[in-house]
Chain A
Amino acid sequence: SAVISQKPSRDICQRGTSLTIQCQVDSQVTMMFWYRQQPGQSLTLIATANQGSEATYESGFVIDKFPISRPNLTFSTLTVSNMSPEDSSIYLCSVSGLMNTGELFFGEGSRLTVL
């Protein structure tokens, strides 16, 4: 398994501002994933981030709103831009396991509240 650290763990933000979430993994991984968990809802994949290439976004998510960086094999950032109250969610970073079974390991998440 991998140890995944996210910062910040929580934050309260003002409408119209942007916030960058950092994700650090204790080992080198090829693929990192960013998920969103809206209040009382399940997890939705935002994008897949591979080192050295542009992130791949899921339907309904765009780079202008959620820019992602992946500068090396252990680190990634997700920015939530021009926030509105609808962006209040838990944002989770995850990485795949070593075995090709599709399981993911998750960070503890970053809980954002937008006022």
Chain B
Amino acid sequence: GDSVTQMEGPVTLSEEAFLTINCTYTATGYPSLFWYVQYPGEGLQLLLKATKADDKGSNKGFEATYRKETTSFHLEKGSVQVSDSAVYFCALSDRGGSNYKLTFGKGTLLTVNP
């Protein structure tokens, strides 16, 4: 079945540091890929997405590129801020048929210190 493997946290960075959170996936079809973010005390929010190979999703300074050859969708940001402290989830949705079920990774807790 489908699966998502995420870099284990927690990750602690200083403000303005470079961030990479690794994500690899296994899927039978051609999935769409997502990064969701969960700020403290809040629900999940879609951060960015990519629907086909070589697509780059971006939002709020975060980027991730859909790499079919390496089955990866790593999240990056060039300069993190304290407000980026949150849990980040990588997820995939297999586009076969009308299946909207998302498969999530275990999440990576990011803490950014001033």
Residues of A near any B CB (own CB < 8 A): 31, 33, 41-45, 48, 92, 96, 100-109
Q: Which DSSP category, helix, strand, loop or mixed, fits chain B's interface?
A: loop
> 29 interchain pairs (CB within 8 A)?
A33-B100, A42-B106, A42-B107, A43-B44, A43-B89, A44-B104, A45-B101, A45-B102, A48-B101, A92-B43, A92-B44, A96-B100, A100-B98, A101-B51, A101-B93, A102-B95, A102-B99, A102-B102, A103-B32, A103-B93, A104-B46, A104-B100, A105-B46, A106-B36, A106-B43, A106-B44, A107-B43, A108-B43, A109-B43
Interface string of B31-65 (1 = CB under 8 A from A): 11010100000111110010100000000000000
Instruction: Annotate B81-114 by CB proximity to A: 1 below 8 A, 0 otherwise.
Output: 0000000010001110011111011110000000
Give chain A nearest CB distance to B9 CB in angstroms.
11
Which B residue's beta carbon lies closest to that of A56?
B101
Can you name the residue of chain A whose Cβ is closest to the Cβ of B34?
A: A103
Query: Distance (Å) between the CB of B90 and the closest chain A CB?
Result: 10
A100 cross-chain contacts in B, Cβ below 8 A: 95, 98
A102 touches which of B32, B45, B89, B107 (Cβ 8 Å): B32
Q: Which residues of B contact A45 (CB under 8 A)?
A: 101-102
Bound Cα distance A81, B51 (Å)? 38
Question: Is chain A's binding surface mostly helix, strand, loop or mixed?
Answer: strand
Q: Who on chain B is nearest to A102 by CB?
A: B93
Assembly CA distance A44 to B106 (angstroms)? 10
> Known contacts being A45-B101, A96-B100, is A106 close to B49, with CB within 8 Å?
no
Cβ A108 vs Cβ B100 within 8 A: no
